[in-house]
Structure 1
Amino acid sequence: MKILAAMSGGVDSAVAAARAVEAGHEVVGVHLALSRMPGTLRTGSRGCCTIEDSMDARRVCDQLGIPFYVWDFSERFKEDVVDDFISEYEHGRTPNPCMRCNEKIKFAALLEKAVALGFDAVVTGHYAKVITDAEGNRELHRAATWAKDQSYVLGVLTHEQLRHAWFPLADTPSKDEVRAEAAQRGFSVAKKPDSYDICFIPEGDTREWLEEHITMTQGNIKDTEGNLLGTHRGSQAFTVGQRKGLAIGHPAADGKPRFVLEIRPKTNEVIVGGRDMLEIDEIRGIRETWAGVPIAETADFLAQKPVEGARSADFEVEAQVRAHADPVASTAHLVWVLDDEAETPGALRLETVVRLNEKLRGVAPGQTMVIYQGTRVLGQSTIARAYSLDRADITA
């Protein structure tokens, strides 16, 4: 096969590319340039798309004897990832830019160009597995080692994208083994640290970066009963579950810490309360995508005409709301509801409603919810609302 190896400059993508070469495929390495201003991306071997990362990727390709190219995706990255990140915070949501990057850049823009150039598949260093079922359909599954599993951040991949995706590290027992293999191959990235944080926020201070990109206006901090507790510099810089940075100046009546419970962009208010108020047991997700062919309970429902209030049969899932969080056994269904954000009156939107078997804490709108059945990823959605069924809504 003709393979395009996405080279981040890290050890995982280096070993993945090497395994593709050893398997006898025609491999070409490509590094994605995601910024035309290198100084705006994290340096010190902690990012995933800096100049030094590009140089590391080139060295690996030279050692493997394969062609190497740098593709400029900076404009699409700005529009689809950075601008989306800003917009979500402006609307009081907490986005996951790595999910958007995988969806819009690494497996949409990159794959689209690769297929147009005649490549059969894109190889990356993600720890996840693609399995072909008896009917020839592709499914996304967790990697062999849950400690390194990255199927959560790949939950945005569609059936068509999975047809052209290959993850050679899927069955690798540990990251230590990958590093040992890289060292044996003589790759200088063998001991390179993993990437962390958000690549387009150079200093790692999300709040400071947001204040430079969003017009912040002073507003009120209130408790759940509507009492004024203090002020803030801008509600957009907060996220549900946050404790630091409130600067209220006086303790709660019970002496316990306060946490952000809700962000209200329209009134520029931040609502705070005790830790117990963060516990939720039902999540509603929007903007669904399905990783592979939808299961019967969802496929039959999606084939029907949308009708307000129509809902699918219940199906059992495990829900995961963060990349490194434990999945929670849940019961899910789909439902058509009126879209209160749509410009067209009466427009409907599809929601994935997940009722958790155990409570989670600090789940914020804008986060990504990925649902599984066993090791298989069914799909993902953006969290629109997370709440407790046995607690009245906050009325402050």
Structure 2
Amino acid sequence: MTTLSQYTRRGVLLGVASAAVLTVLSRRYVAAAEPASEIRPFKFKASQDKLDDLLRRVRATRLPDPEIVGDDSQGVRSITIQKLATYWGHKYDWRKIEEKLNDLPQYVTNIDGVDIHFIHVKSKVGGALPIIITHGWPGSIIEQMKIIRPLTEPAAHGGAASDAFDVVIPSIPGYGFSGKPKERGWDPIRIARAWIELMRRLGYSQYVAQGGDWGDAVTEQMALIAPRELLGIHVNMPATVPDDIAAALQPGGRKPDGLMPDESHAYDQLADFYAHGLGYAIEMANRPQTLVGIADSPVGLAAWMIDHDIRSYQLIARVFDGAEEGLTRDDILDNVSLYWLTNTAVSSARLYWENKLAFFQPKNVKIPVAVSVFPDEIYAAPKSWTEKAYVNLIHFNKLPKGGHFAAWEQPAVFCNELRASFRSLRS
């Protein structure tokens, strides 16, 4: 039996960040260096054979017996997965998202022995601020596709031209179209160093970074490495949990007295997640190669991915019941299909095995930090914890709606948050 304390020793809940410091000389947005010759254009077209095989497997899915309870306590409910499989097997069309992806400028470059895939969209607005945005699990670059045009063309999407960004969205190694590491060591620290190198190759000598989920872990490691060109970061799943709260959340601990209402709510959210929501992460952190089933069954993969956290799962269940939410059925299956077609179910899981950092433990970030708190995230970080975790907090906002996949689910709100977060850092 895997206990929570064993899980924390794997580094998902406890850990200490460390990284080397990099320096550069230029302080302008765009360096004068020639474009890196190793950056190659990229497009993807799934073979019809692979799509036919996917369809066959979806239609041939053998589902388990229905749950024996009338709620979500046993996991993804049978009716949800049946509706998902029916839509996937009879109405979904991968070619639509494939065309949208291929309309975007995509590239691959080899960094530290691994091919890194990324989207790179430059604004037509002069002086646009470069930003590198990192997805998480079970996400991908598809999470951020809705925010590209509003960030690069703000005047056409409710913003001012002065809020324009150049947008870089890489695929984490082992995810999507990036290469799959063949050696150990590709943890958030190493990915952060790769992202710094990627921005250097693109010629950016001043930029900002954003992330949630694994994207938060990588982005905060970039901030700890603190290259001079990184002006600040924005996170939407911040690492703010104080040591006494983390200790109380361990088995046998008890909720501290005297918590403020928002602190008490955050504690309750975390306690529920630790008690009922960590199953997927425990398995991927300990035995990722055992997950053969999600590499062999597309519907099994979908069930594994949509059960990330209870509020995200409940939103997805409502979507397949026909409700209009921030996500659509196609959104959800676009993301699952990308994992399936790239065979990255297990290679993406290995990041949990590699990681030795704590997701929610403060990392002592010193550079400017902006935080957006969405109520249906794994936990809604209280301002009191956030101010202690980030000594240079330049923006904090609690939003009325949104969850773990904020950029994907609430793109307009998310873009407004990025504009407000980084306005003070523009020269």
| TM-score w.r.t. length of structure 1 | 0.23
Higher helix proportion? 2
TM-score, normalising length: structure 2: 0.22
Structure number with greater CO (CA < 8 Å, separation at least 6) is 2
